[in-house]
Structure 1
Amino acid sequence: MRSKDGFTLIELIAVLIIIGILSLGATFGLSHIVRSSLFTEENIKATLESQNMTRLFIQLSFIKTVVSITSDSIACTLEYPDGTSQNISIEAPSDTSFTYFGSDASTVVSVPADVRIIRINMLVAAAEGITKTFSTDVAPYRLNDG
């Protein structure tokens, strides 16, 4: 006569298969959560990097005179609305460059006295290897006026 104290082999295999299926579903769910978290983290870094463009735009808008220019820096005198002035060298962050134009915004210039418009070019790396290039033009309203 057979004892009813244990489980049959078929019952144990069925339970193991069910546990395996549930584990597989949980693994896919967790991997999706981790991937979404990494995607969000990379996009937050890209957003913080792009805020450098706003900072540069504001800084460059106060230029009174340009002393020297390169593709990654500009030495200049800033004049603030309260009348104070400051000699400063503005360095472009990594993956950022400056292009300098005359008054028509189509002629690239290399002489500091001819600069009227400064283009900020920024390469931002986002999630999943996506890179975007952003550009904005700054025409400092006090540049070289009397």
Structure 2
Amino acid sequence: MDPTAQQTQDPARRAVELTRTGTGRYTARNAAGAEIAFGKGEDLLSPVELLLAALAGCSSVGVDTATSRSAQPTRFRVAATGHEVVEEGARRLDGLHLSFDLAFPDDDGGRKAAGLVERLIALAHDKHCTVSRTVEHGAPVGHDVAVALEDPAGREP
């Protein structure tokens, strides 16, 4: 499975490929070759934590890009939180919240950057952050499955 194959045919399509690297351990890789390890373990982000990171990161990119034109932040932290709920045996997150903690130099550029932050966060939420907008609006998740039996050498019988 090549995540880039269909993306070149449809520039709006986004894709990653997940590979199992061990029990409960996975690597997600994008078309450019960037990758992140995740899964179940002390040294890994869980899939839920990746979702929270995606929410924080998506909103942060626009804020960081725009404010950095005026001043480099001296502190840039975003906490993403949510509460796991179980309804009829099914788990999901509720009450998702982003807390931005930013600081800029006390000079003209820093004051200009600081003055942009709230508007930029609102724009990310209302218009630019694909991740939070998808979560808020909901999107159906489909799937297909291919399963094969292979001999121990990795060849199909």
TM range (shorter): under 0.3
Taking CA–CA contacts closer than 8 Å with sequence separation of 6 or more, which of the two structures ends up with the larger relative contact order?
Answer: 1
Q: Give TM-score scaled by structure 2 length.
A: 0.21
What's the TM-score once normalised by structure 1's chain length?
0.23
